[in-house]
């Protein structure tokens, strides 16, 4: 990786100088507080697309087999999932060690204990046999098309029957090709929401 890439949120150990902030976010009657830092995705606020996805997550039904957040960063998707479904276990993974440390801190800050947070490059750190009822992701677009595609196609092997993949992606950053790839992989893809150019896509593992 180049030095510039080492400063990006998809680096394993970002070299950017620390610059912590605290962000408050409110969805569906739930208030969470997040400590963020330089070197992670959307450090100044919960990304708008993530917010659209979180709101859609609150309405989704899926088999009760646990939740996986791929590319968790400092944890907004996974921690809201843990609050929405306290009876389920939420696995939160990322390649970025700084983001994972923040996610763990944020779980503690918000008194959330039904999460497991660990490093995984896409699905490589997840046991092959482990399957979920729901996978959520705001995929790391800047990491490149191959990484994004591997998140979308690899989800099928980690979903139980009728398990769901939910993702957010902007139209200008590849939504049409992502929808095409999901249809090819799962045989289906539904647009659940559109908001300011962000699309929430759902694929079901039939």
In the chain the domains, ranked by start, together with CATH numbers, are: 46-204 (3.40.50.150)
3-state secondary structure of 34: strand
Residue 51: the pLDDT is: 93
Question: Measuring CA to CA, how many Å separate 195 from each of 23, 100, 145, 164, 181?
Answer: 22, 28, 22, 21, 21
The C-alpha atoms of residue 96 and residue 82 are separated, in whole angstroms, by: 21
For tokens 């595609």, the residue is: 149
pTM given for the model: 0.91
What pLDDT score does 174 carry?
85
Which residue is listed with tokens 């394993």? 12
How many angstroms separate the CA atoms of 40 and 185, rounded?
30
pLDDT lower than 50: segments of the chain: 1, 3-6
pLDDT at residue 9, as a whole number:
59
CA atoms within 13 A on the CB side of 8: 13
> Which pLDDT value is given to residue 4?
47
């Amino acid at each position: 990786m180049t030095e510039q890439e080492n400063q990006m949120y998809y680096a394993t150990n970002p070299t950017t100088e620390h610059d912590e902030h605290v962000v408050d976010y409110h969805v569906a009657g739930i208030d969470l507080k997040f400590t963020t830092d330089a070197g992670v995705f959307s450090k100044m606020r919960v990304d708008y697309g993530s917010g659209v996805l979180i709101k859609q997550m609150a309405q989704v039904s899926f088999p009760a087999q646990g939740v996986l957040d791929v590319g968790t960063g400092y944890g907004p998707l996974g921690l809201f999932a843990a609050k929405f479904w306290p009876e389920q276990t939420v696995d939160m993974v990322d390649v970025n060690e700084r983001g994972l440390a923040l996610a763990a801190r944020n779980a503690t800050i918000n008194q959330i204990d039904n999460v497991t947070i660990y490093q995984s490059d896409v699905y490589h750190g997840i046991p092959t046999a482990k399957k979920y009822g729901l996978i959520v992701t705001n995929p790391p677009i800047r990491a490149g098309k191959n990484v994004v595609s591997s998140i979308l196609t690899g989800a099928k092997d980690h979903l139980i029957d009728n398990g769901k993949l939910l993702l957010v992606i902007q139209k200008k950053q590849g939504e049409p090709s992502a929808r095409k790839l999901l249809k090819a992989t799962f045989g289906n893809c539904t647009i659940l929401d559109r908001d300011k150019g962000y699309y929430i896509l759902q694929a079901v593992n039939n």
